[in-house]
Chain A
Amino acid sequence: MRIVVLVKQVPDMERVKFDCEAGRVDRSSAGTEINPFDLNALEAAVSIQEQLGGKIITLSMGPAAAEDALKDTIARGADESVLLSDRRFGGADVKATAKTIAAAIKKLGGADLIFAGIQTVDGDTGQVGPETAGYLDIPHISNVDFISAYSETDITVVSNVMEGSYVKKSSYPVLITVTKDINQPRLPSMKRKLSARKAHIPVWGYEELQDYIREDEIGLQGSATKVKRIEVPPAVTRKGQVWRENVEEAIDGLVEVLKKAKVLEV
């Protein structure tokens, strides 16, 4: 049983600032941490490994500093980690990112199960997981908040799509994206944390992946979208409209607000 968990190091979203003039995120303004949903993905992997054995490999693409996030995954139960880091990977959009990750998973020799968080808190697209499955040509099940059963050959989960909850069963390999409701990630033990700090995290650049991906498929060059410009919308201020005497007028006003907000169509 080989389980790969996709993780991303993200800025602490409560603290991070946006540099309006440079039009980019000022990542130095905040500490970093593992994308919270990825901890749920890792916990799902660890709890399956506890029953079935096998190996958990965490995989992240990012700058060299993302090594810290991977060390943290080792403290939390991963057996091995690989960091995909190369200047040439820079500027990757969802497509180039998913393709690079897919290439790395192929180089690892594939996986039975791949877990990913439903989305990252910084990018927020929720696309890398399903697109990676697409590039690996394996099925995926998204928005999973419950694992009903699993064995050496297949897994049954509850997937929340189409305004319903569907019990889906898939043979391996399959990629699963999980929500925060699937489990409560355990805290790492201090001893594991202290020893994980000393772990060696292998770094793969383009050279290591070149049998699986072309150079024009990575980074900016391999991207199929580009950000034309960034707009900083004005801060939202509360309208502060107060009605006092005339209830009828107030109700008319509120109904208008509700209509505009499209909540009357249910």
Chain B
Amino acid sequence: MKMTEKDCKGILVFAEQKKERIHRVSYELLGKGKELAAQLDCPLCSVVLGPPDMDVAELIYRGADIVYHITDPMAFAAPDEVLYEQNLVRLIRDVKPEICLFGATNFGRSLAPRVAAKLGAGLTADCTHLAIDQGQLVQIRPAFSENILAHIQSTAYPQMATVRYKEFNEAPRDTNRKGQIKAMEAYVSDNSPVKILEEIVKEDFDIADANVVVAAGAGVKAKEDLKMLQELAELLGGKLGASRAAVEAGLIAKDHQVGYSGNRVKPSIYIACGISGAPQHIAGMKESGIIIAINSDPSAPILNIADYAIVGNLYEIIPKMIRKLKNMKS
């Protein structure tokens, strides 16, 4: 049955959970969803699929007015798009939200199109902004290698979008917030043609998929000095990169090397520590989101392409930064 504008009301945020931990993008969606709901004067709902004893009140604390908790002891322990889709489609048909938001995680990007197909809805991928215009959702996404921003509207209901992680602020947590939790047994729990045999642990190191790269150059003198860079990288959820000079000096393995021939990287944050910035190196990292350079040489070419640069001694600066970040976290 096709949904129309008239019968649809409310915003539904899909909360992705793994081992009962909710992905943070879901809180960001609730944060944004709250704003949109206020403009539309409608409720903000969230749906989570998980075991019956999972604590879903967190979604209330983060701004959901109603949480639909679709439960099954086993079915949602692994990412089975078919089962997820069948349950979500049933719920969406019952609840009839006007807007459905998914995090643009690998799973969200895989699941949302299936759901959209079953509902005959439109879907906009990888949005970076959302707005309301005359009661309609405007979905804004970069396209064409980020060269343009397309403003897209859906012509069918619900209006569906996947939204990039770390674009919006997380909804603040308020443990006094009240809301309604509607737990319900899964509509479907075991007819998927896909069997998930196991989750495997991969240990491939790929600097190219790091969101933050902390890179060491010739200014790093000894192998054990990498420990502090590694610590900084870990505090930022990043990985350790290196210039050719550092690799050739034997400080670190070649798969960490960033450069034109080597690994070209595009992290959100690139922190170049003691890297002068040879053209080969710059060619491998210049498309990074924010470039931070720490170098004692004020004439180092890396400083010219950095957003933020400190001319100074990295052996003084890095430990201080680590201390400060640790203090903030504790």
Contact = CB atoms under 8 A, between A and B. Distances in A.
Interface of A: 13, 16, 18, 25, 93-95, 98, 121-135, 138-143, 156, 158-171, 174, 177, 223-233, 238-244, 247-248, 250-255, 257-258, 261-266
Nearest to B293: A242
28 contacts: A93-B122, A94-B125, A126-B125, A127-B109, A127-B123, A130-B113, A134-B116, A162-B18, A162-B105, A168-B196, A177-B110, A224-B116, A226-B155, A230-B149, A230-B151, A233-B149, A238-B307, A239-B308, A243-B311, A244-B311, A247-B312, A251-B324, A255-B325, A257-B307, A257-B308, A261-B269, A264-B235, A266-B237
A94 B196 CA distance: 28
A60 to B, nearest CB: 19
Given A131-B113, A228-B151, A238-B305, A251 B311 contact: no
A128 B145 CA distance: 18
A122 B121 contact: no
A161 B107 contact: yes
A225 B78 CA distance: 31
Contacts of B1: none
Interface in B64-122: 78-79, 81-82, 85, 105-107, 109-118, 120-122
A97 B312 CA distance: 55
Interface in B129-179: 138-140, 143-145, 147-156, 166, 170
Nearest to A169: B195
Contacts of B149: 230-233
A258 B309 contact: no
A241 B107 contact: no
Question: Looking at chain B's contact residues, is the secondary structure mostly helix, strand, loop, or mixed?
Answer: mixed
Contacts of B316: 247
A168 B118 CA distance: 22
A244 B312 CA distance: 7
A240 B238 CA distance: 23
Contacts of B199: 164-167
B212 interface: yes
Contacts of B4: none
B195 A134 contact: no
Size range of the chain B interface in the assembly: 35 or more
Closest 8 CB pairs of A and B: A134-B117, A224-B122, A266-B237, A125-B125, A225-B122, A130-B113, A142-B110, A224-B156
Given A95-B123, A170-B194, A124 B24 contact: no
Contacts, number: 258
Contacts of A258: 236, 269, 325
Contact of A263 (B123, B147, B238): B238
A130 B85 CA distance: 11
Contacts of A163: 18, 105-106
A233 B129 CA distance: 13
Interface stretch (B35-43, B47-55, B181-189, B284-292): B284-292
A134 B113 contact: yes
Interface of B: 16, 18, 24, 78-79, 81-82, 85, 105-107, 109-118, 120-126, 138-140, 143-145, 147-156, 166, 170, 192-202, 211-212, 235-238, 268-269, 289-292, 298, 303-312, 316-317, 320-321, 324-325, 328-329
B321 A263 contact: no
Given A125-B126, A169-B194, A264-B328, A130 B309 contact: no
Nearest to A123: B143
Question: Looking at chain A's contact residues, is the secondary structure mostly helix, strand, loop, or mixed?
Answer: mixed
A247 B196 contact: no
A122 B324 CA distance: 42
Contacts of B144: 16, 18, 25, 122, 124
B212 A263 contact: yes
Contact of B116 (A123, A131, A140): A131
A228 B116 CA distance: 20
B151 A13 contact: no
Contacts of B117: 95, 98, 130-135
Contacts of A16: 144
B13 to A, nearest CB: 17
Nearest to A125: B125
A244 B166 CA distance: 31
Contacts of A124: 125-126, 143-145
B122 A231 contact: no
B9 to A, nearest CB: 19
Nearest to A260: B290
B40 to A, nearest CB: 18
A230 B321 CA distance: 41
Given A127-B113, A131-B117, A254 B321 contact: yes
Contacts of B197: 156, 166-169
Contacts of A162: 16, 18, 79, 105-107
A134 B85 contact: yes
A169 B166 CA distance: 32
